[in-house]
Amino acid sequence: QVQLVESGGGLVQAGGSLRLSCAASGRTFSSYAMGWFRQAPGKEREFVAAIRWSAGNTYYADSVKGRFTISRDYAKNTVYLQMNSLKPEDTAVYYCAADSRGTAYFRLRPQDYDYWGQGTQVTVSS
C-alpha cells in the first residue's frame, strides 16, 4: 500500500523560505512521477511542480518557476519542495501526489495522480 506523508509546512513571512518533504513508502517508485499540488480556501487544487523519480527531470507551474525547486532523494525515498521568495498568494494546503502511469510527459491534473498525502499547511504573511 502506497503511503505519502508530507511535512515541513508552517507560517512564514513574505520573502521567506520553507522546505516541504514527502516521504514515500509501500512500493518501488522508479517509474513514477511525483508531484506537488496546492489548494487555497475556495479554490481548486492546482499543480505546482513535478519530478520524474528515475530521470530527475522536472516541470513547474509558471507561478512558481524560479522560486520553487522540486528534488528527490533516492536513498530516502523522499521528494522535496524548496520554496523561496514566498508570497502571500502561495498560502495553501500543499499535497504530495504520485502518478504511477510512467508517461513520457508530465501530467498536470489532480485526477491524473493515483496516490495522495494528507497535506501540509503553508501560510505566508504579508
What was the pLDDT predicted at 80? 98
Q: How confident is the model at residue 10 (pLDDT cuts 50, 70, 90)?
A: very high
37 secondary structure, DSSP code: E
Mean pLDDT within 50-75: 95
Question: At residue 3, does pLDDT exceed 90?
Answer: yes
Name the CA dihedral angle for 21, 67, 63, 52, rounded to a multiple of 10 degrees: -50
Nearest C-alpha neighbor of 31 from the set 77, 99, 112: 99
What is the average pLDDT value for the chain, to the nearest integer?
Answer: 95
Nearest-angstrom CA–CA distance, 103 and 112: 11
Nearest-angstrom CA–CA distance, 17 and 4: 22
DSSP string, 42-67: TS--EEEEEEETTT--EEE-TTTTTT
pLDDT digits (tens, 9 = 90+) for 49-59: 999 998 899 99
